[in-house]
Structure 1
Amino acid sequence: MTRRLISTGSPFETAFGYSRAVIDGDLVFVSGTTGYDYVTMTLPEDAAEQARNIFRTLETVLAEAGASLAGVVRAQYFVTDRAYCEPVLAVCGEVFRAVRPAAGIYVVAGLLQPEMKVEIEVTARLARP
């Protein structure tokens, strides 16, 4: 299988030289994704809402790749304040309760822009026929 790149059209992808996702073999590697609504380029203030936006983006990207959130095998969550852990993980629990991927949550000093509170990256398996 050849390597394939996926873009959401985010200006960050072009400016910083990366792909939203890379398909290699039967795995889909999705880059760290923040809570922007990439259609309107707006970012909610609430960390849980940022997480919900992230999962909408991930769902779209994975579908384009031929995968789904149900195929996620690893998830990494980054938050900029410990206070965001509980609300963000509650959203993650809603999405992944039945999937239960390997996961880690990290409290980081900051993300690219100060209003970004959450970033999530995932690895998924392509859907099997």
Structure 2
Amino acid sequence: TLNPYESRFGYSRAVRKGPFIFISGTTSIDPATQTLLHPTSAYLQATQVFAEIIRAVEALQGTKKDIMRVRMFVARHEDCEDVGRALRDTFVGGGGGEGDEDGNGNGDAEGPAATMIVGVGFVDPAMKVEIEADAVVM
């Protein structure tokens, strides 16, 4: 992609090796303007990031359903709920899909494995979330 950090630091947005796709940490930087999108909303930043991740997977002949794992790095604890909601809305669909008390899903869809790490700093202090993803294309 045209993300300014990729050329500055010399890495790739996404790499495919056989059936495996690895997506680098992605933030809501607009490649056209090289500015951060949605600086006041963790939900919108995360939604934008998930869309960029899906585009990267599709560019390597994968699909959203091939995304097996995401790692979400969140700057502030207060933003965890919004980032988690963006994950659910992107991969499972909106509407609350909490599942039952035993942790069983509601049957709508199955989201990827996920980890959320809180309290990290980013290269731009307005960044609220950065997300990595792994996909397997069968």
- TM normalised by structure 2 equals 0.82
- Asked whether 1:91 is paired with 2:91, we answer no
Letter in 2 for 1:52: T
Q: Which has the higher contact order (CA 8 A, sep 6+)?
A: 2
SS at match of 1:67: coil
**How far, CA to CA, are the matches of 1:37 and 1:108 in structure 2?**
24
Structure 2 matches for 1:108-123, cutoff 5 A? 108-123=119-134
Give the CA deviation at 1:56. 1.7
**How far, CA to CA, are the matches of 2:125 and 2:18 in structure 1?**
36
SS at match of 1:88: helix
**Gapped runs of 5+ residues in structure 2?**
93-108
- Asked whether 1:56 is paired with 2:51, we answer yes
Counterpart in the other structure of 2:16: 23
**Gapped runs of 5+ residues in structure 1?**
1-7
- Asked whether 1:36 is paired with 2:11, we answer no
Question: Greater shift after overlay, 54-63 or 25-34?
Answer: 54-63
**How far, CA to CA, are the matches of 2:83 and 2:54 in structure 1?**
17
- Asked whether 1:12 is paired with 2:23, we answer no
- Deviation track 1:9-30 (CA, whole Å, cap 9, x = no partner) reads 2121011011001101101000
**How far, CA to CA, are the matches of 1:74 and 1:90 in structure 2?**
16
Q: Report % sequence identity.
A: 38
Counterpart in the other structure of 1:4: none
- Between the two proteins, the alignment pairs up a number of residues equal to 120
Letter in 1 for 2:133: V
Q: Which runs of 4+ in 1 moved over 6 A?
A: none
Letter in 2 for 1:93: R
